[in-house]
Structures are given as C-alpha cells and as structure tokens.
Structure 1
Amino acid sequence: MGQTISKDKAKPVSLKQVQIQDDFWNYYINLVRDVVVPYQWEAINDRVEGAERSGAVNNFKIAAGLEKGDFYGFVFQDTDVAKWLEAVAYLLVTKRDAALEQVADDMIDIIGKAQQPSGYLNTYFTIKEPEAKWTNLTECHELYSAGHMIEAGVAYYQATGKRKLLDIVCRIADDIAVVFGDAPGQIAGYDGHQEVELALVKLYETTGERKYLEISRYFIDKRGQQPSFFVEEADRRGWTTHWNKNKIHIDHEYFQAHKPVREQEAAVGHAVRVVYMLAGMADVARETGDQSLLEACRRLWDNIASKQMYITGGIGSMAHGEAFSFDYDLPNDTVYSETCASIGLIFFAHRMLQLEPNSRYADVMERALYNTVIAGMSRDGRHFFYVNPLEVTPEVCEGRNKNFNHVKPVRQEWFGCACCPPNIARLLASLGEYMYSVKENTVYSHLYIGGQVELMLGETKLQLNQHSSMPWEGKVRYEVTLQQPATFALALRLPDWSSKAEVLVNGKAYTIANVTVDGYAIIDRQWITGDVAELVLEMPVMRVRSHPLVKQNAGKVALQRGPLVYCVEEADNGPQLQQLILPQDSKLEVASDEQLAGGLKVINAEAFRLEIEEWGTQLYRTDSNIKLNPVDATFIPYYAWANRDKGEMSVWVKERV
C-alpha cells in the first residue's frame, strides 16, 4: 500500500460552525430554501405542470405498500428523494423549519416502510424485479442509489439528531457488508456508478463503525482488478442489458475499471463517475493513511485540471457516455459538461484540501462553483441546465443535427433523469462546509464568502467575521474575536486570477513574500480580540488563451475577471457571434448592470464585427477585401447567460493581433 499519510491532516469546518452573510451567495442559499427545495418537492411528487414526470416519491409509496401501481422512471430514481432530503438537512442546520422538517419526517417514515427486512432498499427492484437484485451492478446503480440515501441519512442525523433515517441507512450498509466481499457466497464486485464509496466513509465518520470504512476500501481496491467483474457478472446473467434488448457491451474505461485505480494515469469514461470515485479514494486515503491512493488522486487531479477541464470548471467534453474524451479535446459547442460533474469536481477538490492544503484545489473549486454550478440554475430557481455549453446557436442545437441535441439554449423545468437540480440544491445548501479547514494551529480560508465562523483551537474559542466583496471586487476583511490572546496562523488563499496581493494586519502592511506556502499567505502571530486582517487582490480583466493543443480555441480569447468567466450573448451583441473579433490591444472597461441577474459587472470592449452584407451569395471567396466594422461588444458573467430571451452565446471569441 506504500507509505502512510501524515496524521496531521486538515479538518473541514462543519456547517454548524458557519453562518454565511454574503451579498452574492445569500441570494442563492435563500433561493434554495424558499424556492428550489419546495419546487423540487413538488416535482418529485409530480405536481409541476408541464415538467417531466418524476415518480420518485410515488415509487417509495408503492414499495411501502401504501399505493398501488408500477415503478416509474430510471432505475436510480430513488436518488432524487435522497438528494432532496440531504438538501433539506443542510437547510435545517442553518435555520430550523418545523414545517419542512415534518415533511421530511413523513417521507422518512415512507422510506422506512419500503425497506426490506434484510436492510435492502431500492424501489425499482422491490417493485419491478425483486428476483434480479444485485445481478446487474454494471448498469443498475444499486450501490449508487444506496450511497445517496446513506449521505441523506448522515446529513439528517447531523442536522436534527433524529436517528430514524440514520438507522435505515445503517441497515442498508450492514446488508451491503454481508452481500459483498471475497468470502464464499458473497459478491466479489462493485458498482458501475461510483458513489457509495464516499457515502460509506461519511457513515463511518458518523457512527465509528469500522466495517463501513473497510467495505468502502474494498470497493475501491476491487475496481479494475482482473479478471473483470463486469464480464463475469454478464456471463452469469447471459449478457442481457437493462436498457434494451441487445447484448450488453462493456467498455471498461467508461466505468474506470480498465485498470486498478492506483495504476490509472488519466481521467477516462463517464465524468461524474470519475470524480465521485476520486472523492471516495481521497476519503479512504485520509482515513487509512494510504499514500498510494493519495498519489493516484494527485495524478488524476493533474490530468483533469491541466488537460481536460474547461475554463468554466466544467468537465466531460463528450456527449457520448457523458465522458472525458482525450487530453486537450475541449469542444465548446458539442461539450457535455454536466452540472453534476462540476459538483463532483468540487467534492474531490474539497477532500484534497483536507489531505494537503494547496491553493490549486481551492482555485478549481472556486472556478467550478462560480461558473458551471450556478450557471446550471436560473435566477428563478425553477429551471436548470443538465449540459453547460460554452457556445450555443439555438437553431443548430434545436435543428436536425443530432450531434447537438443534448445542448439546450434555455434551462429546462425538470428532467426525467433529474440528478442535477437536487445536486445543485444540496451543494448550495451546504456551502459553508467548503469555506474553511483547520490543520493543527492554522486556519485555512479557501473561499472568500462573507459570514461568521466559530472554531476551537486547542482550548481557545475563535470567531472570525469575514466581509467579502467577491466576486465583484478583490477585498476581504477578517475581524477576530477571542476569549483570550492566542497564537495561531490565518492562511489566506492567493487566487490564480490575481497577480498582485496585499495583506494588512490592523491597517499595516504584512510582508507575505517569505510566508507564502502552497498558494496561501500565512499570517502567524499572536492575535487578540479586535484584530483585523485584510486581503486586497488585484482584479484586472484578463485575456485568457488556451494551450496550443486545444484546437477548438486556436486564435481565440476569453475574458475573465476575478473568479468569473465572461461570455458574449445575443441579447447584447446581436446574432452571428462568430463574426465578433477582439483586438489584442482593445480597451476593456468594467461597468455595472443593475438590471441583469440582480445586478452584476459587465465588460465593455472595443471590438470588430465582420461585415456580412457585402459578402453576397458566394460560399467561398479568394479576395482579401474583408470588411470589419468597429463595434462595442458587451461581455457578461457566464453564470448569468440564458436569463433573458433565447439566443446565441459564446465564451471564446476570435482574437486579432
């Protein structure tokens, strides 16, 4: 297994310790509380007119014997309920709501009635194919679904102290521990869709029951071993497939089962599965001290972040298989970039920060959060993107070219496969968990989001009150409250989007040149109540260019300011955005737009537009008399696109030397 990891790991700060008070993020958190969670409850109860049917709640009622009927939806439909409950739990941590809690309790009662005596819980197999459970792990998501319910059970117990759902999920995990393993009569395999691995570690941390950690490690260690479990399983099943009448085709790379996880060199296959797997690997590495797992996590992180990630923090460039394709293949118009994949990337980054606080993880976490994640939901909280493109032409993606059918120019009300909306809800409801971590005597500040955090450093109680002007201005201020003077270090992340940072303590400059470690400025001193630390970051408009091997962006540039990536939209710049050209020396000015998306900063740019009227009817021309007209182009934050009329959008624009 290799060397062991240092026991001095960073510890995340729990949601109970953080109270967010932030002009930008409180809007989204309140939206989740007031709109998204109630709306999603209506959706999974099939009460949203015009939205795709869910069937998720009714499936549990049927499995519990409370209703008559047939199972409806995907084989993993239970996870919509589980993720909704998890989001509810996080909301109850920050603000108790008796009515919402009662709705959740009632749902938990139904879930309990749907559970089988063995502990098995899955409405599809209970209702539709009881004799087929555990026979098609390759495709049928049984452990994936169990994992989401386990996460909900842990979260709800931590929020309310109520054990009912926790006891339900402990029975699920106990059953899994009986069913899976290398002993005679057990299944020596793992799920096609990773998730249960990270969930079991959460359950271990909550209960202290070691077998939950061990079965998580078992699934990780078993994946990719030869002979292939998926092939052996298919042999036993007669090579049938769940999805159609054809013979199953097993692509081991799609499932990250082509090699043992410690030998994998690059992220391949279904993007969400990759990052869920890596989150579970990081968890097990942290809890067991397995250095070889950490090394694999680092290697795959480097591949994703340096060769397969979009500027928005999106991952998974290929619609076929919702998957990674190959290094530097990052098309903008046929991109998949599932919202869940960026959320999974945040999960992975958060865990790597616990193993080794390094700003590169927090930089990506911030990039995905401010761009792809909140772009995945409209400002009204009732419409969602599953796919997050970087270039959209409505008549193309709504036309006859099936290569673009997955791309939508407007957000949808709901999806038959509705994994993304409840995933957004549970992430935003738990946002406070991602802001800080503590390692020995150092408090790391990863995300600049305003609010209060209370910590214990040894015997000393510390309160930090953070005031942040992000993402519009690069100023952060920390006010310190202590029971008594204390010596500790405050580590402030120096983001990759700012080339100049200034730190002040009590109004005086604090030299950080020699105290910057892994991208964090370390302020190590004795603190007293009333001390103030400030971070001032330059926030210029940056022209971003891709690696030369990203063919799709050759000769193009994107704009970024602070953590926000910008785009051009038809509503501001007219149609045919491919005709826009941005000179390298053009003037870029930041301005406020109070009307769009609740108020934001736009970038106004001096640009050119190719004159199309004089082109005539010729498809091709040989002369060089191409006319360019000067125009004013407006760039808006990518997260805010598609909140007006349907139209074109593009992140990357042509650049003129």
Structure 2
Amino acid sequence: MTKPDVPSHPQSSGYSHKINDPFWSHYIELVRNVVVPYQWEALNDRIEGAEPSRAIRNFRIAAGEEEGVHYGMVFQDSDVAKWIEAASYLLSAKPDPELEVLVDSVIETIARAQQADGYLNTYFTLREPGARWTNLAECHELYCAGHMIEAGVAYYHATGKRTLLDVVIRLADHIGTVFGTEPGKLPGYDGHQEIELALFKLYETTKEDKYLELSRYFLDQRGASPHFFVEEWEQRGRTIHFGELDMVHRHTYSQSHLPIREQSTAEGHSVRLVYMCAAMADVAAKTEDTPLKEACERLWSNIVSKRMYITGSIGSSAKEEAFTGDYDLPGDTAYAETCASIGLIFWAKRMLQMEQDSRYADVMERALYNTVISGMSLDGQRFFYVNPLEVDPEIQRVNPNYAHVRTRRQGWFGCACCPPNIARLIASLNQYVYTPAVEQATLYVQLYIGGEGEFTLQGRKAALTMVSDYTSTGEVKLIVRPDSPAGMQFTIALRKPDWCKIPELWINGEKTEQDEFTFECGYIKVTRSWKAGDEIKLHFPMELLRMKGHDHIKTTFGKVAIQRGPFMYCLEEVDNGRGLHRIQLPRDAEFHIGSGERMPLGVPALTTIGQRIVFQEDWGIHLYRSDVYWDTQPAELRFIPYFTWANRDEGEMSVWIRESV
C-alpha cells in the first residue's frame, strides 16, 4: 500500500499559540509534570489504592511481548490513545526527549499489536477474535479506533514521526473495507460516536478524500437504518455485552432513532451526542451541507436553552448518562460527566469555525472554567467522573439514587475516560484561543488566554502577544506585530463575554468609543492597518451576577447562583457549616471580594452576610408539627469558585441558594 504524501507539521488551524498565562500555564504544567506522568503510572497499574487499568499490559500481550489475558473494559485501549494524544500536544508546545522516548516505546508496542489486515483492538484480538464487528452497539471497536486515529494524527503533527500515523492509516483503510452500503459490506455504524471526528482529522492531515467520505458515511448511516442494532443483536443470538441493556431502546441512547439531519432535540447518552455533533459540524463546514449545519444549530439550541446546567455541564440522568427532558436539571442527582463538557467544547470550537458567533465561545468558556477543571483536583492527582451541583455526603452514602455521585475525587476509575480526556483538552488548549477567518481577513479572539501567537491571513503573517489577567481582574492586553514594516490591514474581532455588560477598549493608550468600531454577533471588531507594536487594551468589568434559572426549572426556582467573570461559585460546609439548605441570600446583600483564606490561582473567594433559618421550638420526637415557627439569624457566608470544591474537608456543597426579600 502506498503511503499518503503527508506534509510535515502542517498548521491546519491557520495559527499557532504558545500559552503563557497566570491561570492556564499552571494547569498545563500540572498536566505536563503531574497528570501525564500520573496517568502513565495508572495505565501501568502502579497507583496504590486505585483501580487497576492494565491498558498498557493489554497491548503488550496483544503484541506478543507478554503472556496473559485481556483485562478491563471493552474500551480500555482508548485510555492509552488519549494519553498519547495528550503527550503529543505537550510535545508540540515544548520538546521533552524523555517523554518522546516513552511515547515511542508505546507506539512500537501498538504497531506490533496491529493485525495483518490493519485491525487493532486488544479486547477482540485477545478475548473474542472471531467476533469482530458483531456488536457495534456495545463494544466500542470504532470508538477505540477513533481515539487511536486522533493519537496518531496528533503525534505526527507534534514530532513528524509517522509510525503511529501509518498504523492508523492502515486501521482506517481496514475499516473502509468493512463498512459501507455496497454488496458484501457491513451497513453499520458505531454505538459510541468518535470515529467520525477522528476520520475527519485524518482527512485534514492526509488530504485523502476517502477518509472524509468514510466519516460522512458513518454520519449518514446513523438513523438511516433505524433498527440496525436490534438486527445485529438478533444475528448474534440476542447476546449482550453489558448486563442490563435494553436493545430496543438502544437507538435513542445512541442517537440513531432518526437520521441525523432530522434530529431536533438532544436525546440519549450525552457524550455520544456531542461527539457526533462535533463531527457533523466538521463535515457540514467542509462539504457545505446546509441540512447538516441546520441540524447542528437545532441541537445546539435545544441543549443550551433547555438542557444545560449553569456550570456548562450536560446530562441530567445517571441512567444511561443521558439527557432527559427540557428544563429537567436536578443539581443533586446530575450526571454532568466531565467528558460531556469536554465534548461540548469540541463541538463549540467547530461551530465557531462554521459561524463566527460569540454564543458558541460563551458556552465553551462556561464549560471550560467550571465543569472541566472541576473534574480534576488542584494537585492533578484525583478526578471526578460526575460533577454535581449539590451534595450531602451523609445522605449520599445511604441513598442509592446518589450511587453515581462522589463527594471525593477518585484516584482512577475502572471506566477511566475522563482523566485522559481532561489531560488532552488542557494540553491542546492553545488550539481554542483564536479562529482565523481568512476570507474575511479577520482574526477572532475566542478565549482570553495569554501567550505568543502567529497567524496568517490572506497570505500575510503577523504575531500577536496576549497578556491576560482575565481570570482575576478582567484585564487583557494584545500587542500586534505584522511581518511588514508598512503594516497590515485586517480586523481583530474581540469577543464580548456574555457575563460582561459594557467592556472598555483602548488602542495605543487612547480610549475607543463605540463609533470607532463595529459590534457584530458578540464581537467588537476593530479594522485598521496594524503597525508593529500597536496595542489593544481591554477591561471586562467583573460585576457580581445573581444568575437565575428559567422558571420551568423546578429545582432552581426561587434560587440564585453567584457568578463573577467566567466562574460560577458555590457554598461548602467547611466554610458555612452544616445545613446549607437553611441558608438564604437577601436580595440586597453586598459582597466583598477576596476576603478570608486565599484561593488558588488568583480567583478570589466572596463573602457576604446572609441568613440562616432557625426554629423557635425544639422538634422533640416529632417528624412533622404545626406549632413550630421559623426565624432567621444573620450568617456570614463564604462562596468559593465551583472548580475548587472538594479540595478540602468532605462536606455539603451547593451552587444554588434560596433568595429572600
């Protein structure tokens, strides 16, 4: 087979950005120095007290390097792929010979584990070699393949080495021989979407149209054969892999209940849906598929206007990790999987490439600064799979309805999708800062994350330095350096965050009035001939916001959630005592910023005087009484950024608080 002629280190995004930021540099270095090494130890089963992974060992056994049997979930391979992808992004940002040697050694093992026909999956190679592609609904073969393809593409871009890229090209080509609507091929699709967006990345790297077409096939086939999963279940004698799966309901669970262009509401497993929509946006943009784009817009609107938590998390039900109905957003039983918010960010980025509208970046920011980083402890060694908005450890220990909720982050998981997903997103965060619109000669600034960037618009290059104190004071400075002494005419579009009412803008030290720029789709657009050293200064005043939920959300009715800048806040028992349900926040309560114990990374805590409900009578032995009355007492309240909760003593937590007159 002829290898595709792949360009070395292409910049498909149209820009590069090396992050140097007082908030995010800490997280990136945490991923580099703690998370990726920690996860390597976990993948090799060397974390005391954590569930074993055996993921690396599975590959070694499949490669003939060790004796043994497959261990773990059917999708265990994906943890290794995501680890490689995260390591690749770190290597793109900064050379690390020791890490590169380690990744190379894993890739060599993976290459030896690949079968002669290109197939690669340790579960089926070791445990069920005769059952390939017979249980697409449950067994994640295409999901694992997708993650490995993404890893191969990322490592190639980072290092120029193509061993893993060649492995995943052979894997993708094998998949292309298996699936399709032609006679003799399997007219199926994946139970857990991932292959679609991975194939699109492979297409972007290799410029081979067959990978774009294969990605589009998997999208188009979903729902076109609405009973495929039931049919394959019948063909294998009605056996199932996971013990309590309702095969008839499987199609809604995996978004194959309708052709994707006809879907209007977010249904089923939340991670699967947003991964699918990310691929839909990719393909729609590339092929100018208007019905596909419109389906993306409908599904996006349904989620963000009716089915998303205020922290940017999605998935209301622990059963099937799924969306439920409009405005059903319980905080205490929320599933709100970390991976789902990461997938929402993937999708938002692609929507921004298709349509420059700040509403997509606003959601991206909300999910990133709240749910995603809440999913990892401040020391990078423990993780949340589920991100609730309210917890009470005493009740959650005894009520099985809360069995999915943890009040302490875990060292690892038997199903460990979230930790490596966090690592690969944070390590690749530089890809989310800007969106160049080449035809418009416009650079869109989506996230205010400091660093050094370079971009190309209409064949001209420029550098951009961003100095950001966005997370603490809301102040940002950008310095432009075109490649020509004569300057460069283009537009810089600066996103106005949805939490900021009136931003302030200075250009070269002079305050700019509204008639000196245009405001369009949530962006302040400044067009001029930029000279070397031109400076933009922004100030986004961080007013304290009392956020309220839609009046159809029963669990938040009459309550408020506190937001400052991009951060949501919460109450914790360690600061406010037990019984957070007794606390009320008066409408006229004034907040003080930054008092008390210093919070991490320059994001301040907030304090105010609220009220605590107390009863005038002792309840005695009674569970219910009519002759008791409540009163209120002043109570000093301390709110902390939601992403920092559960890093101290275990206790109650709540994002929403009852508001009083």
TM-score interval for Structure 1 and Structure 2 normalised by the shorter chain: over 0.9
The counterpart of 2:552, out of the listed 549, 552, 565, is 549
* Post-superposition offset of 1:621: 3.4
The counterpart of 1:640, out of the listed 639, 644, 649, is 644
* Post-superposition offset of 1:243: 1.7
**Contact persistence 2:616–2:631 (CA under 8 A):** no
Query: Does residue 1:630 correspond to 2:628, yes or no?
Result: no
The counterpart of 1:573, out of the listed 569, 576, 583, is 576
Counterparts in 2 of 1:168-207, with a 5 A limit?
168-207=167-206
Counterparts in 2 of 1:68-467, with a 5 A limit?
68-244=67-243, 248-399=247-398, 401-440=399-438, 441-467=441-467
Q: Take 2:596 and 2:295, find their aligned partners in 1: how far apart are those partners?
A: 45
Counterpart residue number, 2:585: 582
**Contact persistence 1:13–1:438 (CA under 8 A):** no
Structure 1 residues 15 and 357: CA distance shift in structure 2, 3 A: closer
Letter of the 1:604 partner, please give it.
Answer: T
Q: Take 1:532 and 1:134, find their aligned partners in 2: how far apart are those partners?
A: 57
Structure 1 residues 323 and 247: CA distance shift in structure 2, 3 A: closer
The counterpart of 1:504, out of the listed 494, 503, 506, is 506
Letter of the 1:145 partner, please give it.
Answer: C
Secondary structure (helix, strand or coil) at the match of 2:203 reads: helix
1:443-478, CA deviations, whole angstroms, 9 ceiling, x for partnerless residues? 000001111101122343211111111212111111
Q: Take 1:23 and 1:97, find their aligned partners in 2: how far apart are those partners?
A: 22
Letter of the 1:414 partner, please give it.
Answer: W
**Contact persistence 2:226–2:258 (CA under 8 A):** no
Structure 1 residues 396 and 12: CA distance shift in structure 2, 3 A: farther
Secondary structure (helix, strand or coil) at the match of 1:575 reads: coil
Q: Take 1:51 and 1:241, find their aligned partners in 2: how far apart are those partners?
A: 28
**Contact persistence 2:267–2:273 (CA under 8 A):** yes
List structure 1 segments (4+ residues) > 4 angstroms apart after TM superposition.
11-16, 245-249
Q: Take 2:641 and 2:568, find their aligned partners in 1: how far apart are those partners?
A: 6
Identity %: 56
Structure 1 residues 494 and 227: CA distance shift in structure 2, 3 A: closer
- Runs (5+) with no aligned partner, structure 1: 1-10
Query: Does residue 1:468 correspond to 2:472, yes or no?
Result: no
Letter of the 1:625 partner, please give it.
Answer: Y
Counterpart residue number, 1:6: none
Letter of the 2:143 partner, please give it.
Answer: Y
Secondary structure (helix, strand or coil) at the match of 1:89 reads: helix
Larger mean CA deviation between 233-242 and 408-417 belongs to 233-242
1:149-199, CA deviations, whole angstroms, 9 ceiling, x for partnerless residues? 000000000000000000000001000100000111110010000000000
Secondary structure (helix, strand or coil) at the match of 1:140 reads: coil
1:587-644, CA deviations, whole angstroms, 9 ceiling, x for partnerless residues? 1121255643354301112100011574423323335731111011000000000110
Counterpart residue number, 2:519: 516
**Contact persistence 1:512–1:521 (CA under 8 A):** no
Q: Take 1:458 and 1:452, find their aligned partners in 2: how far apart are those partners?
A: 20
Secondary structure (helix, strand or coil) at the match of 1:437 reads: strand
Q: Take 2:22 and 2:655, find their aligned partners in 1: how far apart are those partners?
A: 26
Q: Take 1:15 and 1:405, find their aligned partners in 2: how far apart are those partners?
A: 45
Letter of the 2:453 partner, please give it.
Answer: V
Q: Take 1:211 and 1:611, find their aligned partners in 2: how far apart are those partners?
A: 68
Q: Take 2:602 and 2:408, find their aligned partners in 1: how far apart are those partners?
A: 20
Structure 1 residues 456 and 598: CA distance shift in structure 2, 3 A: closer
Structure 1 residues 651 and 452: CA distance shift in structure 2, 3 A: same
Secondary structure (helix, strand or coil) at the match of 1:151 reads: helix
1:50-91, CA deviations, whole angstroms, 9 ceiling, x for partnerless residues? 100101000001111111111100000000000000000000
Q: Take 1:490 and 1:508, find their aligned partners in 2: how far apart are those partners?
A: 17
Counterparts in 2 of 1:27-38, with a 5 A limit?
27-38=26-37
**Contact persistence 1:476–1:535 (CA under 8 A):** yes
- Runs (5+) with no aligned partner, structure 2: 1-9
Q: Take 1:289 and 1:66, find their aligned partners in 2: how far apart are those partners?
A: 47
Structure 1 residues 124 and 410: CA distance shift in structure 2, 3 A: same
Q: Name the TM-score, length of structure 2 as normaliser.
A: 0.96
Q: Name the TM-score, length of structure 1 as normaliser.
A: 0.96
* Post-superposition offset of 1:226: 3.7
**Contact persistence 2:143–2:193 (CA under 8 A):** yes
Query: Does residue 1:529 correspond to 2:532, yes or no?
Result: yes
Q: Take 2:14 and 2:31, find their aligned partners in 1: how far apart are those partners?
A: 16
1:495-544, CA deviations, whole angstroms, 9 ceiling, x for partnerless residues? 11011112211122223366111100000111101111112112111001
**Contact persistence 1:13–1:437 (CA under 8 A):** no
* Post-superposition offset of 1:248: 4.4
Q: Take 2:540 and 2:254, find their aligned partners in 1: how far apart are those partners?
A: 42
Counterpart residue number, 2:61: 62
Structure 1 residues 456 and 157: CA distance shift in structure 2, 3 A: same
Counterpart residue number, 1:24: 23
Structure 1 residues 184 and 480: CA distance shift in structure 2, 3 A: same
Larger mean CA deviation between 457-466 and 186-195 belongs to 457-466
Structure 1 residues 80 and 383: CA distance shift in structure 2, 3 A: same
**Contact persistence 1:571–1:647 (CA under 8 A):** yes
Counterpart residue number, 2:477: 477
Larger mean CA deviation between 259-268 and 621-630 belongs to 621-630
Letter of the 2:625 partner, please give it.
Answer: R
Letter of the 1:608 partner, please give it.
Answer: Q
Structure 1 residues 149 and 409: CA distance shift in structure 2, 3 A: same
Secondary structure (helix, strand or coil) at the match of 1:571 reads: helix
Q: Take 1:459 and 1:189, find their aligned partners in 2: how far apart are those partners?
A: 43
Counterpart residue number, 1:495: 497
1:251-309, CA deviations, whole angstroms, 9 ceiling, x for partnerless residues? 32111011000101100100000000000100111111111111000000000011000
Letter of the 1:436 partner, please give it.
Answer: Y
Secondary structure (helix, strand or coil) at the match of 1:407 reads: coil
**Contact persistence 1:592–1:599 (CA under 8 A):** no
1:110-141, CA deviations, whole angstroms, 9 ceiling, x for partnerless residues? 00000001100000000000000100000001
1:401-444, CA deviations, whole angstroms, 9 ceiling, x for partnerless residues? 11101100010000000000000000000000000011021000
Query: Does residue 1:656 correspond to 2:660, yes or no?
Result: yes
Secondary structure (helix, strand or coil) at the match of 2:634 reads: strand
Letter of the 1:244 partner, please give it.
Answer: G
Letter of the 1:124 partner, please give it.
Answer: Y
1:13-61, CA deviations, whole angstroms, 9 ceiling, x for partnerless residues? 7598211111111110000000000000000000111100101000001
* Post-superposition offset of 1:571: 1.0
**Contact persistence 1:593–1:601 (CA under 8 A):** no
Secondary structure (helix, strand or coil) at the match of 1:131 reads: coil
**Contact persistence 1:15–1:93 (CA under 8 A):** no
**Contact persistence 2:352–2:361 (CA under 8 A):** yes
Q: Take 2:592 and 2:332, find their aligned partners in 1: how far apart are those partners?
A: 28
**Contact persistence 2:437–2:457 (CA under 8 A):** no
- The count of corresponding residues between Structure 1 and Structure 2 is 646
